[in-house]
Amino acid sequence: ETDAANHDINYAFSTDGGVTWQNNAGTVIADTSLAQAVRVDSPGIIVKVFDGRQLLINQQAQCVDPDGRVHVLMLHRRVEPGYEWTPGDPAFSTADTAYYHYFRDPVSGVWSERRLPVNAYSVGSRPKIAFDTSGNVYAIYVSGGSVTVPGFGVGTLVIASASKASGYTDWSDVATVGLPFIGEPLIDQGRFTASGVLSVFIQETGPSSSSA
């Protein structure tokens, strides 16, 4: 079997505009002034171990809230018994997956994990994540029904939210728009921060045209 190339969640940060880079524990692992770079095997950068069989895809979602808390939102294989990889599983799919929220405490550097609701709306497009000025977070995605290729299903626009006060344990769906949408939503974080209005740009599907 051929595994997908994607694996693990890695994290590194810089406090000097990208000249030096530190791992999650704060140890310098690369100095670009010395022609060094962060590498896949740099020490201390893996914060979540995933092998290449967890249905990870590219271009998922991250943001940093007003407290400096890093948030990552991604879809991957569910972790409960019964969802393990079996021979013949595809490399990339929405089958057997859920959306997961990972976040890093800005003081301790500890990462935590939450799972978004899995019953009301199925996994569909690659998600986006936004934050308000209070540090609450919002997940936005198109629930793509039975389509198994992330990002290409037609479905419902879903907005879910979790509060900082709960430690992001209260993820719930707060708004849905049932028009047939397609593709991946975009969000205007600048407007949300400035005015409290969450704007979502998404394509509504419609009749296609073709030439004979």
Q: Identify the CA nearest to 63 among candidates 204, 202, 192.
A: 192
Residues of the chain with pLDDT under 50: 1, 212
pLDDT (tens digit per residue) in 68-97: 999 999 999 999 999 999 998 988 889 899
Question: What is the distance between the alpha carbons of residues 119 and 121, in angstroms, rounded to a whole number?
Answer: 6
First to last CA, the chain: 41
DSSP 40: T
Structure tokens at 77: 């294989």
The pTM assigned to this predicted structure is: 0.93
CB-based burial of residue 124 (10 Å sphere; 0-12 exposed, 13-18 middle, 19+ buried)? buried
**C-alpha to C-alpha distance for 180 and 192, rounded to whole angstroms:** 25
Rg of the chain, C-alpha, whole Å = 19
